[in-house]
Amino acid sequence: MAEATCTAAVNIAVVKYWGKRDTSLILPTNSSLSVTLSQDHLRSLTSAQVIEGAASSQDRLWLNGVEEEIQQGGRTERCLSEMRALRKQIEDKDSSLPKLSTSPVHIASENNFPTAAGLASSASGLSALIATLSSLYALEANGISVSDLSRIARQGSGSACRSMFGGFVVWEMGQKADGSDSVAVQVAPREHWPTMQALILVVSDHKKGTSSTSGMQRTVATSELLQHRIKHVVPARMARMEKAIQAKDFDAFALETMTDSNQFHAVCLDTEPPIFYMNDVSKAIIALTVEINRISKQTENRLKVAYTFDAGPNAVLYAEEEDVKDVLEIVLRYFPQARGFEDPFGLKPVAKDTLPEGFNDKVIPVFENGSVSRIIHTEVGDGPRVLSKGESLLGADGLPKSLKA
């Protein structure tokens, strides 16, 4: 029985993707760059099985144990059909291979982080799907490159293409109308800069924000500033960001990261009607970060931390390993955690009592428990991982094991 199980990671952009030039193929209006985070802490796990001569004659999908309809013409269906087409080419060349491309598949996928955390799971989910199907169909073994696969992941969920690689990854916007050159490329593997760590500050929000899919197209339609960003700002920033990563220059990396996050939210605000993703807690996290950097600039002539915000109020803070505990303890002072904070790196951080000399302790008020509802400490990670058969989510009957539990 042909079966495969893979995991894939979340990625957090430091040069943001916002705007499609082709909404069906998911072709972006600008290139973007992200850091793939570790699958040890946040990951999607996906299993796929080819159902041969089975009772079931159609593809089936379970997300977090709940069956979902695979919509005709939808993104999952598009990914499946693109992956089957690649398998078909290989089968056509080598008639000894099993004819998997014509059989239905069953797919089960789970995230190890709650959707309620407000973390976008589509990037890790879709890249885990593509990695799993690639493994199932032996595509990489037959010469299909990861960038080729990223082209298909992109059609499932734009930024998913970047999770097809570990480390530091560019999504080249490409120029062609068919999207064949709109693919992910690795700038540097995680081993190049393994000390890059991240703190995800999950910010509670009572209201549902604008979905990124509809939000970005409203920006494309109405923001004059977006056009300037696309044409004049991003190309130069991409070059500077790649250089900063190659040189492991944290100051340059941090400055570009923060400036790009600000500009992304600026074009959201320049949308009609305006889109707001950051709330007052998000803004307080920025003010705290600015103060941490002001002091470290003064005393050590360097930056210690970079903030970035995606299409929601959560903050992601990037920092070098040696600075994370310090940053974390200042964060814990202002954003107390009701249940404490268990650090997976064994840092044992405690809310900072004594702030650095000159630090303006009134920069933001001490917030209520729960304003930051959860903190996740992770680091730069690798690309999709192939797991052993024993870790499959699907049983021998082709159904999720969880259904019987």
Q: Least distance from C-beta 177 to its own copies, angstroms?
A: 27
CA-based torsion, 302, 376, 326, 323: positive or negative: negative
- Rounded to 10 deg, the angle between the 250-269 and 234-246 helix axes is 150
Q: Least distance from C-beta 310 to its own copies, angstroms?
A: 15
Q: Least distance from C-beta 287 to its own copies, angstroms?
A: 8
Name 107's bridge partners.
48, 61
Lookup result for tokens 């910010």: 203
Cβ-based nearer residue to its own copies, 283 or 389:
283
Cβ-based nearer residue to its own copies, 151 or 229:
229
Q: Least distance from C-beta 33 to its own copies, angstroms?
A: 18
Cβ-based nearer residue to its own copies, 18 or 193:
18
Cβ-based nearer residue to its own copies, 11 or 263:
263
How far is Cα 314 from Cα 373, in angstroms, rounded to an integer? 10
Helical H segments across 223-320, by residue range = 224-228, 234-246, 250-269, 280-300
User: 21 phi and psi, to 5 degrees?
Assistant: -95, -15
Q: Least distance from C-beta 405 to its own copies, angstroms?
A: 37
Q: Least distance from C-beta 279 to its own copies, angstroms?
A: 6
Q: Least distance from C-beta 225 to its own copies, angstroms?
A: 5
User: What residues line the site for its own copies (CB under 8 A)?
Assistant: 206-207, 222, 224-225, 228-229, 232-233, 255, 258-259, 262-263, 265-267, 269-274, 276, 279-280, 283, 286, 290, 364-365
Cβ-based nearer residue to its own copies, 194 or 370:
370
Cβ-based nearer residue to its own copies, 73 or 273:
273
Cβ-based nearer residue to its own copies, 207 or 404:
207
Cβ-based nearer residue to its own copies, 280 or 391:
280
How far is Cα 33 from Cα 248, in angstroms, rounded to an integer? 15
- Of 90, 111, 115, the residue nearest 100 (C-alpha): 90
Answer whether 101's CB lies under 8 Å from 87's CB: yes
Q: Least distance from C-beta 211 to its own copies, angstroms?
A: 16
How far is Cα 364 from Cα 175, in angstroms, rounded to an integer? 45
Cβ-based nearer residue to its own copies, 316 or 399:
316
Answer whether 63's CB lies under 8 Å from 69's CB: no
Q: Parallel, antiparallel, or unpaired: how do β-strands 32-36 and 11-15 relate? A: antiparallel
Cβ-based nearer residue to its own copies, 80 or 258:
258
Q: Least distance from C-beta 260 to its own copies, angstroms?
A: 10
CA-based torsion, 209, 214, 220, 221: positive or negative: negative
Cβ-based nearer residue to its own copies, 191 or 280:
280
User: For residue 189, how far is the Cα from the chain centroid?
Assistant: 16
Q: Least distance from C-beta 327 to its own copies, angstroms?
A: 16
Q: Please give the angle made by the CA atoms of 400, 76 and 43, to the nearest 5 degrees.
A: 60
Answer whether 275's CB lies under 8 Å from 218's CB: yes
- DSSP letters, 300-339, are HSS---EEEE-SSS-EEEEEEHHHHHHHHHHHHHHS--TT
Answer whether 381's CB lies under 8 Å from 190's CB: yes
Number of H helices, E strands in the chain: 9, 16
Q: Parallel, antiparallel, or unpaired: how do β-strands 43-50 and 105-111 relate? A: antiparallel
Peptide bond into 400 cis (omega under 30): no
Q: Least distance from C-beta 112 to its own copies, angstroms?
A: 31
